Amino acid sequence: MATINEFKDGLQMLEEATGDAERIQEQVLGQILKKNAGTEYLSQYLNGKTDMLLFKKNVPIVTYEDIKPYIDRIANGETSNILVAEPIVEFHRSSGTSGGQPKLIPVTAEISNLGALYFTLMTSVMNKHFGNLYQAGKRLEFMFAKEDSETPSGLKARSSSTSFYKHDRFRKVISKHSTSPIEAILCSDTNQSMYCQLLTGLIKRDEVVSVASAFATVVLRAIKFLEDHWEELCSNIRSGEISDWITDSGCKDALSSIMKPNPQLADSIQNICSCKSWEGIIQKLWPKAKFINAVTTGVMSQYVETLEFYGGGLTLVSVFYACSEAFCGINLEPLTGPSHVSYTFIPNMAYFEFLPLNKDSLTIAQEDVETEPVDLVHVKLDQYYELLVTSVAGLYRYKVGDVLKVTGFHNSTPQFQFVERQNVILSIHTDKTSEEDLLKAVTEAKTHLEPLGFISRGYTSYADTSSIPGHYVIFWELKAKEGNDNQELDSKIMAECCYRMEESLGYIYRSNRKQNAIAALEIRVVKQGSFDELMDYYVSRGTSMTQYKTPSCIKSKEAINILDSKVMSKFFSP
């Protein structure tokens, strides 16, 4: 575990690295080329040379599909040095967005070292702003490992978070500073795991200084789970006995060491949870919590109001921007509100390049803007880019699939706002609606519903072309802040919401509508818990719950059927 001095050193290191980004980036690329120029992959472009200009000139920009044949060969038993000189020790299963096909991302020992450094830097930033959190108390962080799978060659394939939880170094940190027992985190039954993590979090409620999950979805899932199970949890706390359905031996062992009858604690939790409104429930249940730590940018920004409602004024902190491919940025100002979060890139983590995008259509820039990728220190303020990563583990000029916007600089290093996943597009005719467009449209409609006492538990969309002309369908889970969850929605107001969404969509969408090339936008309101079922579906298909991101747009027939079977009411734009 890092010591206080290491955290101070962490801050100093951040200052030094961000002040010297250009040199560090050159050094990172130089070392990657020196080690890997002889690999089968790079030598076809570089002929064994390690020249950086040649790298930029000859090495192609690739997507996962382009390098998949190499990865498959390694997964099937060929030596890893066809791609990277250092041995591949495992693969991380990345989904990017949960709707996508899981990818296998190569990992070498050096990646673990970078992960440890990234974690220390992030903790240094948090401690700077919130005081020494390790001394202040424990973190209630909802974490879920997934079972490992193996490639035919015997290499492990698992989510990066699972790898993190299983790593000795982090296991120690977790067991010391988190209320969630490692046995519960590793339990593959997510319901038993969630129950145990909530139970221990409630038993240790006076020690909890932050409530967290990697992405906002999981904190909200925990709240929904608590809504459904708080009476049972209180009864367990009262009696000191664990419910019979907790059969996982790890969970049982971990709980048995802390469970003892505690009627007083059960009473106070019961008093809080039996209130009509759950506004501020997180703050009430964990009174010493200083903040909620979960990513609330990108597609997660749809959950901000809902988290604020449950958080009761607790600061929302969105501190990291990372992907299975690379650790990228850290939010150096974690107290900034979710809509202003920017991530400062850490120059030591990988070699980063940025493909300029055309602001209006978010396609590759033409005309007045450069189309060649630019280096980290050469990005321009307010410009949009697609991120390319060259990693120490065998990714070269790899498109991560994220769109970022430059919002400023810390020393010489740029800071980026996360804009959206590239290519998540709804389209019927000539219209192209991106993740960000849709988010704006839903936000517009939401402002209409909030005064009526509804909060959003999630939305997604699909292009319904089963009738002609096709139309956009938005599935939406709405919850009444108080009272009956199945409260009737005013059809006039909901039709107005549909209309507001259409108004917010681009000019091309609207002109298609006028010409009847697209039919009226439809909102399908789904039952409580539908989006948890959607998450369960994707988790059953290989996505890690910790890394789950609600897809903005779904294409899978099965996923659409799940939501369709939960529809309570349908509304159309007038």
Q: Which residues bind ligand AMP (CB under 6 A)?
A: 94-96, 295, 297-298, 300, 318, 320-324, 400, 402, 418, 421, 547, 549
Nearest CB to ligand AMP, comparing residues 75 and 323: 323
Neighbours of 285 (CB within 10 A): 25
Select 90 or 402, whichever has its Cβ closest to ligand AMP: 402
Most distant CA pair in the chain, distance: 73
Tell me which residue has tokens 């989904």.
95
Find all residues with CB under 8 Å of 378, minimum gap 6, and list them. none
Whole-angstrom distance, CA of residue 518 vs CA of residue 365 = 28
Smallest distance, Å, CB 161 to ligand AMP? 8
The smaller minimum CB distance to ligand AMP, of residues 137 and 458, is found at 458
DSSP 269-295: HHHHHTSS--TTHHHHHSTT--EEEEE
Let me know: does 297 contact 319? Beta carbons within 8 Å: no
Backbone angles phi, psi at 26, to 5 degrees: -65, -40
321 Cβ contact partners less than 8 Å away, ≥ 6 residues apart? 295, 297, 328, 329, 330, 331, 343, 416, 418
CA 406 vs CA 14, 382, 435, 531: distances in Å: 19, 5, 18, 32
478: enclosing H helix or E strand: strand 471-480
Q: Considering the complex, what minimum distance in angstroms separates the CB of residue 122 from ligand AMP?
A: 12
The alpha helices in 361-480, defined as continuous H runs, are: 435-449
CB of 180 to ligand AMP, least distance (A): 19
CB 341, min distance to ligand AMP, A: 8
For residue 244, the number of C-alpha atoms closer than 13 Å in the C-beta half-sphere is 0
Return the closest-CA partner of residue 436 out of 403, 468, 400. Answer: 403
Rounded least distance, CB 316 to ligand AMP, Å: 12
Are 46 and 397 spatial neighbours (Cβ–Cβ below 8 Å)? no
Nearer to ligand AMP, 266 or 426 (CB): 426
Closer CB to ligand AMP, 192 or 417, in the complex: 417
Cβ proximity to ligand AMP, 324 vs 383, nearer residue: 324
Q: How far apart are CA 406 and CA 342, in angstroms?
A: 9
Find the shortest distance in angstroms from Cβ 546 to ligand AMP.
8
Residues 139 and 212 sit within 8 Å (Cβ to Cβ): yes
The residue among 402 and 502 lying less far from ligand AMP, judged by its C-beta, is 402
Residue 448: CB minimum distance to ligand AMP, A? 26
* CB 92, min distance to ligand AMP, A: 7
Give the Cα separation of 254 and 250 in Å (integer): 6
Closest approach of Cβ 327 to ligand AMP, in Å? 10
Residues 514, 467: Cα–Cα separation, whole Å: 18
Cα gap 459→477, rounded to integer Å:
6
CB of 418 to ligand AMP, least distance (A): 4
What letter represents residue 311's amino acid? Answer: G
- Among all residues, whose Cβ is closest to ligand AMP? 298
Q: How far is the CB of 321 from ligand AMP (least distance, A)?
A: 4
Whole-angstrom CA distances from 209 to 135, 201, 220, 509 are: 10, 11, 18, 46
Confirm if 421 and 402 have CB atoms less than 8 A apart.
yes
Residue number with CB closer to ligand AMP (39 or 161):
161
Q: Select 236 or 547, whichever has its Cβ closest to ligand AMP.
A: 547
Q: Which two tokens stand for residue 441?
A: 């449209």
Beta carbon of residue 193, minimum distance to ligand AMP (angstroms, whole number): 19
Least distance between ligand AMP and beta carbon 359 (Å): 19
Closer CB to ligand AMP, 233 or 357, in the complex: 357
Between CA 391 and CA 32 the distance in angstroms is: 8
Residue 95 has a CB neighbour count (10 Å cut-off) of: 22
Q: How far is the CB of 401 from ligand AMP (least distance, A)?
A: 6
Residue closer to ligand AMP (CB basis): 298 or 529: 298
User: Would you say 62 or 568 has its CB closer to ligand AMP?
Assistant: 62
What are the residues whose beta carbons fall under 8 Å from the beta carbon of 488, sequence distance 6 or more? none
Tell me how far CA of residue 397 lies from CA of 8, 350, 363, in angstroms: 33, 11, 18
Nearer to ligand AMP, 80 or 547 (CB): 547
Quick one: 119 or 320, whose CB is closer to ligand AMP? Answer: 320
